[in-house]
Structure 1
Amino acid sequence: MFQEMLYRGPSLDELHENYAKRHQIDEAAPIRSAHEVVIDAPVERVWALLADPAGWSTFAPAIHDVHVAGDRTASVDTRFTWINGRAKIASRFAVVEPLREITWTGSAMGSRAAHRHLLTTREDGTMLLRTEESMAGTLLGLFYGSAKLHAELTRWLDAIKTGAERS
């Protein structure tokens, strides 16, 4: 338990290059979670929501003040900043495979995270959206844990589902 509290994880650059870009989260991170949801909408609609951080507030009101570098297009190594609730997060896309996977890394308040999204079209025309995330940072576990992360991932996917099915 004590060692988990002190686990800092890899540097943000290493997390980005050697984990996220290789379709992985930090499995050694003490804070991890995964969640999935079936969405009754075409994968293109879900992708459009995920690949447009500047539009996230349209379906997830806790997210605001999103700023994307360059032309606002999700592409590998594009940086963006955003606020989720009260946490300001500096992020960078690691994987952008249209209609299949979008992954980013980010840091906030001394923590480092890798957040993957996998999109799969199902035979019945619906699609499965799966997300997984790891977070690490010295003493992060004192105020944030896997249960809180899971609750956040559940809210996030529910918001995407509602947004995609409403469109």
Structure 2
Amino acid sequence: MRYAVIAPGGAEGRLLTVAPAAGGLAVTEEAAPPALLATVREAGFTRGAVILDTSADPLSADSVDDPVAQLTYAGPAADALHAEHAARGLVDDRAPTRAQGQITIQAPPERVFAVLADVETWPAIRADISDAHAEGPAAPGVRFTWRGGANLFTSRWGIVTPGERLTWTSVVPGARAAHVYDFTPDGAGGTLLRCRESLAAPVLARFISSAVLQAGVDSWLAGVKAVAETAT
């Protein structure tokens, strides 16, 4: 398997191919094929360096067991991530960065669901979120945007079952994530909220580990709990 780094910012772009060779690695450079540049741009990369795998699908590694493949895996395209994962209540199990967690909330599932499904309340859930806007009420396929720190995410609801399950995808240049939340009555009038997330982020994988994603999941759960338990 070969790996490539492409900088699509220029008129042509350059393609660096890294392949095993006697005594180490061999690096070659050539003009990037126009079709490859088009694929990269369609995936949301418009400038800078992008690590690619040169399999049949240049943005998807054949295996994420290889440490290098873990850095190059970009996951399914945004539409496929929505249709094949979020819309089916699944995260991307091939993504090297994954996390999950759960928390008990002293509020009924319907209230907890309403808090998380209202995108415009997200800044109250996490202090680093701002500019959260949706095209309309939460429903399958409805898109929304939100800013997490310096990153502007474009998201789309997958499953929207009030009081039971809420899923969505989030895309930003360089990363694609799937989020699955399940709401279960705890038998005492409260809710057991479970979360699963996956993240495919070429290049960024070396900086965003599963431990980092886990911290994010934990902060989401704690934030939803705080808002839901004080909601009236």
Post-superposition offset of 1:36: 0.5
1:107 matched to 2:155: no
User: CA separation in 2, counterparts of 1:86 and 1:116?
Assistant: 24
1:164 matched to 2:218: no
Gaps of 5+ in 2: 1-66
* Contact preservation (8 Å) 2:114, 2:162: no
Q: Using CA pairs below 8 Å that are at least 6 residues apart, which structure has the higher relative contact order?
A: 1
Pick the aligned partner of 2:211 from 147, 156, 166: 147
Q: Secondary structure at the match of 2:170?
A: strand
TM-score, structure 1 normalization? 0.95
Gaps of 5+ in 1: none
Post-superposition offset of 1:61: 2.2
User: CA separation in 2, counterparts of 1:59 and 1:9?
Assistant: 28
* 1:100-137 residue CA offsets vs partner (Å, 9 max, x unmatched): 01100011131111001100011122210011100102
Post-superposition offset of 1:54: 1.1
User: CA separation in 2, counterparts of 1:121 and 1:85?
Assistant: 33
* Contact preservation (8 Å) 2:120, 2:133: yes
Post-superposition offset of 1:139: 1.7
1:58 matched to 2:142: no
Q: Secondary structure at the match of 1:157?
A: helix
Q: Which amino acid aligns with 1:154?
A: D
Post-superposition offset of 1:58: 2.5
User: CA separation in 1, counterparts of 2:124 and 2:218?
Assistant: 17
User: CA separation in 2, counterparts of 1:86 and 1:156?
Assistant: 18
* Higher-Rg member (1/2): 2
Identity of aligned residues (%): 38
When the two chains are superposed, the root-mean-square deviation of aligned CA atoms in Å is 1.0
1:19 matched to 2:85: yes
Q: Secondary structure at the match of 1:156?
A: helix
Post-superposition offset of 1:48: 1.1
* 1:25-68 residue CA offsets vs partner (Å, 9 max, x unmatched): 00010110001000011112111101100121123222110121
Q: Secondary structure at the match of 1:46?
A: helix
Give the total of aligned pairs.
165
Post-superposition offset of 1:140: 2.2
State the match for 1:29 in structure 2: 95
Q: Which amino acid aligns with 2:129?
A: I
Structure (1 or 2) with the greater helix fraction: 1
State the match for 1:79 in structure 2: 143
